[in-house]
Amino acid sequence: MAEVLLFHHALGLTPGVHAFADDLRASGHSIHTPDLFDGRTFQSIAEGLAYINESGFEKMRERGVRIADELPFELVYAGFSFGVLPAQKLAQTRPGAVGALFFHSCLPITGPWSFGPWPAGVPVQVHGMDNDPLFVGEGDIDAAREIVEKVENAELFLYPGDQHYFADSSLPSYDAGATRLLTRRVLGFLDRV
C-alpha cells in the first residue's frame, strides 16, 4: 500500500479534506494530513489566501516541505490547490518520490515558477474541473498539459463543472459524482505505485 503526504487547500484542514483522506485510508493506504494553519480554517479562498500572504507565501510552502523531513523518502505527494505548492516541490526535488497527485492546481515544470525538470519515473495525476475559473483561468490547466506532454506516466483528468474545491465534501462546491470518479482514479493510481 502507498504512503501519502496530503496537503490541504487555502481554507485549511477542513472536515472534507479529512473525509477524503479517510476514504483513501479505508483502502489500506497510509495518509498523512498535516495542518499548515495550526487549526485555522477559513470561509473563503480570499480569506485563506490573505492568511497565507500575511504569514508569508514562501514560508508557508516551505513549512509543508519541512514536514516531509519527519517521514520516509518513498512517498506519494498530494495537494489540494494551495497544497499543491509543497506537494509539487517535494515531488520534484526530494529524492525517493513514488508519485504525485495534484487536485485543482498545477505548476509549470519550466519557467520562473518551476522547481526544475520532472524526475524520471515519478508518475503524476492532475485533476480539475474544465470550467473552474482558477484552474483554467489562471493557467494551471496549461501547466498540467505541459506535464502530460513532457512526462511519461502523467495524466490529466478534467471533470465537467466550474467549482474549484469540488472534492471537499464539507464545502458547497462539492460535487459527489466527480469526487467518486476522482477517488476511483486516485485509488487505482495508489495501487500501481
Please give the share of the chain, as a percent, with pLDDT higher than 70: 100
From the CA atom positions of the chain, what is the Rg in Å?
A: 15
Domains, the chain, ranges and CATH? 3-192 (3.40.50.1820)
Reply yes or no on whether the pLDDT at 47 is more than 90. Answer: yes
12 grid coordinates:
485549511
Task: Answer for the pair 126, 157: CB distance below 8 angstroms, yes or no.
Answer: yes
Q: Quick check: helix, strand or coil at residue 97?
A: coil
pLDDT digits (tens, 9 = 90+) for 7-25: 999 999 999 999 999 999 9
d(CA 55, CA 59): 7
Mean pLDDT over all residues of the chain?
Answer: 95
Q: What's this model's pTM, rounded to 2 decimal places? A: 0.96
Region of residue 10 (phi > 0: left; psi between -120 and 50: alpha; otherwise: beta): alpha
Reply yes or no on whether the pLDDT at 177 is more than 90. Answer: yes
pLDDT digits (tens, 9 = 90+) for 56-113: 878 888 888 899 999 999 999 999 999 999 999 999 999 999 999 999 999 999 888 7
Which band of pLDDT confidence, cut at 50, 70 and 90, is reported for residue 156? very high
pLDDT at 163: 97
Scanning the structure block, which residue is given the C-alpha cell 504512503?
A: 3
- The whole-number average pLDDT for the span 28-47 is 96
